Amino acid sequence: MNLRDKLLNNTPKVSKIKIGEDDYFIRELTVGDHNSMIYRQRQRLVQLAEEQGIELNLDDEEVLAKQLASVYDPYTLARSMAIRLCDEKGEALFDPDNIEDLKALSKLDSEVLRDFNKSVSDITTPKALASDENSK
């Protein structure tokens, strides 16, 4: 196997999590997920700002960043869940760009979000770091 193929075999790890009493799966983020989170989110925020009547200063990046930070996106949390929730094979359960999926996730009990966030934190926090924090 050549180096290119070796590199491309690095697929996102899938982990089992508990939400309530049931088992679900989440996957690690891909390069594409990170790209979407940075650049597509920026596009969404610009569009939302326009819809919310917020005039943006597109000529000053620093001012624009501050303006976009104040734009309300009603699906930020639902989108973060949609990006990671998957089946045991790593196939997405929800489409983070599908408004109906985002609306459905937004209606879930807050305990679901709490369990989801705890699971993501448990999986993404390095074990050594977690041990160091517990020993303080």
pLDDT tops 90 at residue 133: no
DSSP characters for 73-115?
A: -TTHHHHHHHHHEE-TTS-BSS-TT-HHHHHHHHTS-HHHHHH
Across the chain, mean pLDDT equals: 91
Tokens representing 115 are 């369990």
Residue 129 has pLDDT above 60, yes or no: no
Assign 136 a pLDDT band (cuts: 50, 70, 90).
low
Q: Is the pLDDT of residue 131 over 90?
A: no
Counting DSSP H helices and E strands in the chain, the numbers are 8, 3
Burial 88-105 (b: 16+ CB within 10 A, else e): eeeeeebebeeeebbeeb
- Span 74-127, pLDDT tens digits: 999 999 999 999 999 999 999 999 999 999 999 999 999 999 999 999 988 876
